[in-house]
Structure 1
Amino acid sequence: MEFHCGIDVGKHKLQACLIWIKGKRRNKSVANTPAGRRTLYQWLERQLQGRLDTLQAILEPTAHYHEALAEELVELGVRVATPNPKQVKKFAEGLGFESKADRQDAFVLARMGESRELAAYTPPAPEVKALRALLARLEAVEKDAQRESNRLEHALTAQAPQDVIDSIRNSLAFLEAERRRLERMIDEHIDRHPPLKGDRELLESIRGISAKSSREMLSIIHRHPFDRAKQVASYVGVHPKVFESGTSKELPPCMSKMGSGRVRAKLYMAAVSAIQHNPDVRAFYQRLRSRGKAKMAALGAAMRKLVHICFGVIKNQTPYTPQIA
């Protein structure tokens, strides 16, 4: 018998709900600290009489606060699942829950694990985890630089004192230097690890995939044990969302947007470039346009095709070769 434990993860607290025999629930709340997590593991062992291998723990990914918990549970022999937050939200609505509360959210996660097959979580390799952290830091610096650039534009328009303008420019210069430094660190980190280096070269053999988009796709594909290209497309949110019920049938399919908006933004720019320089993507885009597809719908499909190509070159360990001359 497999038991299911939903764990609502917060910055400071973990709320667990263990679905027991005949649907009975047992709840436990602990601090999200090393000591608190040890208390949770000991409680689970007592409930299951030491049989942690019979447990599936379902965690909703919450920034980075769930990562230590997920990795420690896997080490203890627990099967861990980390479903997409949007899927969790829709499942909760299906159960009739519209408000959010820690105990309720933990129960929803447990019920989700009980009622459907969820993909098992696999902890990323240390070098992949480090790459993800470096990319997250680069994103933060780029956002800070954009904010300072907006402030500079406002200061110039408002004719702010020169000291204010100089301060903003100094901050922008620092952030630009830090951005370049982080990009060098990321490239050096990838070069130090042959699997990452080789796969980046494969990704950059695809016309339209730049250094920036290759880093993102490299991190995503190495971080999750995808079996098919459709799974990658679903993860980044570029797969089509089809309406097939009631009057919704009249609505055209649209992009699901279930993944990271930042990754999709880079894929958007990659698709724009690929339509110009990649013969396969260009032919695909033009074929959709000739059938009456709107420009943005065809561009979204081109993004999805690029994701499929990215997965294909890494899975087959073969550089990209255009099928159309």
Structure 2
Amino acid sequence: MTSSLGVDVSKAKLDVALLNDEGKYRCKVFANSGMGFAALHQWLQTHLPQGQELAALHVCMEATGSYHEPLALHLHDLGVRVSVVNPLRVKRFIELEGTGNKTDQGDSKSLARFCRMASPELWEAPAPGVRALQALVARLDALQEMRQSEANRLEVAHGVVQASLHEMLATLDKTIAQVKAQIRQTIDDDPHLRGRAQLLHSIPGLGDRTIPQLLAYIGRPERFKSVKALIAYASLSPAIRQSGTSLNKRGGTHAQGHRQLKHALYFPAMVAGRHNPAVAAFWQRLKAQNKPGKVIVVACMHKLLAIVYGVLKSRTPFDATRFCDANT
């Protein structure tokens, strides 16, 4: 039997639990950084059973937005088998076990047991073009946040610092334009990304800002077995809360999942609610049912992502007649 490693990933740290053949654990905490990854690699080489190679290790972590991705890539490049699973699967596994030990170390141990018992499918690393696009999209987001912060400062700035702020804004504008050009070039240079971008441009509501984000966050659409899998990945599945005798109360969407993908769909869903016939019809139907505005927007984000999946998976441009009658 091979060893299983459960990794509870957060922004700053990695809580890991190595489960050996005898059912015993070795636990440790590492920084969620390049130095932390190197330390984890060294620790594994020390504590794996004698004669066991890294390639025989199976690592399991939850999909946690973008926090898990650098570690998953690092381990994958080392030849380690990596599984990135929906947090809901692990939550149900813990509930069935009845352990209920909600600590970071407890979570990593549960992930190690889940890995051994469920043998989840292996994670598919993004292609080089997608990796480059992910880095550029993240950089663009950071630059735009920096620009907004500087613009906010300028509104209330003393005259003595306004020239400095204007200079910084000009520099940021230039850098943002350069990164946008790199994004366009990266998509144009990759035939798969270019083809997917052309398909996404056929969907009303999606534009030059959102399409690179979708290409970066979704990657190869075939890695999702169904539209429901992609919806869950984007944390747009409805959450059901149970408390005492009050069952099946809807409580919005799940917090776990790829928050950047979810965020990227918010404004496009509002635009699609006016200009995309399939989404607009859905919007009006929900409005006629007196659904709250926030519920309508989230439902249309769900609908728009389902359209994105259908267009990408079928490799067929958007056709309103194909999606207008769908309930999702």
Q: Which residue of 1 aligns with 2:147?
A: 145
- Per the alignment, residue 51 of structure 2 pairs with 49
CA distance in structure 1 between the aligned counterparts of 2:85 and 2:180, rounded to whole angstroms: 31
Residues 208 and 15 (structure 1 numbering): CA distance in 2 closer, same or farther, change over 3 Å? closer
| Pairing of 1:234-313 with structure 2 (within 5 A) | 234-243=232-241, 246-249=244-247, 251-313=249-311
Tell whether 2:70 aligns with 1:70.
Answer: no
Structure 1 255/40 Cα, relative in aligned 2: closer, same or farther at 3 Å?
same
Pick from 104, 114, 122: which aligns with 2:116? 114
Q: TM-score, normalised by structure 2?
A: 0.82
8 Å CA contact retained: 2:86, 2:232: no
1:4-23 aligned within 5 A: 4-7=4-7, 16-23=16-23
Q: Is the 8 A contact 2:61 2:68 kept in 1?
A: no
1:232 aligned partner? 230
Unaligned regions of 5+ residues in structure 1, if any? none
Asked if the contact 1:18–1:27 (Cα under 8 Å) also holds between the matched residues in 2, the reply is: yes
Q: CA deviation at 1:215?
A: 1.0
Separation in 1, partners of 2:305, 2:283: 14
1:195 & 1:223 partners in 2: Cα distance? 9
| Residues 16, 28 of structure 2: 8 Å contact kept | yes
Pairwise CA distance, 1:227 = 1.8
Partners of 1:106 and 1:252 in 2: CA distance: 28
Residues 197-248 of structure 1: per-residue CA shift (max 9 Å, x gap): 1101101100111111111111122167212111111111122112356444
2:172 is matched with which residue?
A: 175
1:95 is aligned to: 99
Matching residue within 20, 35, 42 for 1:39: 42
Distance 1:55 1:63 in 2: 18
1:35–1:308 distance in 2 versus 1, CA, 3 Å: closer
Distance in 1, matches of 2:30 and 2:248, equals 48
Q: Does 1:201 align with 2:201?
A: no
The answer as to whether partners of 2:9 and 2:68 remain within 8 angstroms in 1 is no
Using a 3 Å threshold, how does the CA distance of structure 1 residues 289 and 167 change in structure 2: closer, same or farther? Answer: same
Gaps of 5+ in 2: none
Structure 2: distance between partners of 1:48 and 1:29: 22
C-alpha contact (below 8 Å) 1:17/1:28 kept by paired residues: yes
1:189 match: 186
Letter in 2 for 1:4: S
Measured against aligned partners, the alpha-carbon deviations of 1:26-78 in whole angstroms (never above 9, x if no partner) come to 4567886476455345346x5163365653212456365414432234x2xx4
Deviation at 1:98, TM superposition (A): 4.1
Structure 1 pair 251–86 and aligned structure 2 pair: CA distance change class (3 A): closer
Equivalence for 1:83: 85
The C-alpha deviation readout for 1:86-139, integer Å capped at 9, x for no partner, is: 876897797343444xx5554243133235453421111111100000001001
Counterpart code for 1:294: P
Aligned positions, number: 314
Tell me the TM-score normalized by structure 1. 0.82
- Amino acid of the residue matched to residue 308 of structure 1? A
The secondary structure found in structure 2 opposite 1:243 is strand
Give 1:97's aligned amino acid: N
In 2, Cα distance between equivalents of 1:206 and 1:173: 33
Equivalence for 1:24: 24
The offset of 1:264, in angstroms, is 2.5
Deviations 1:252-274 (A, max 9, x none): 34122423444333311111111
What does the per-residue CA deviation read over 1:163-193, in whole Å, with 9 as the maximum and x for residues that have no partner?
3111112111211221121111101110011
**Cα contact 1:30–1:40 (8 A) shared by 2:** no
> How far 1:145 moved relative to its partner?
0.6
Contact kept? 1:289, 1:298, Cα under 8 Å:
yes
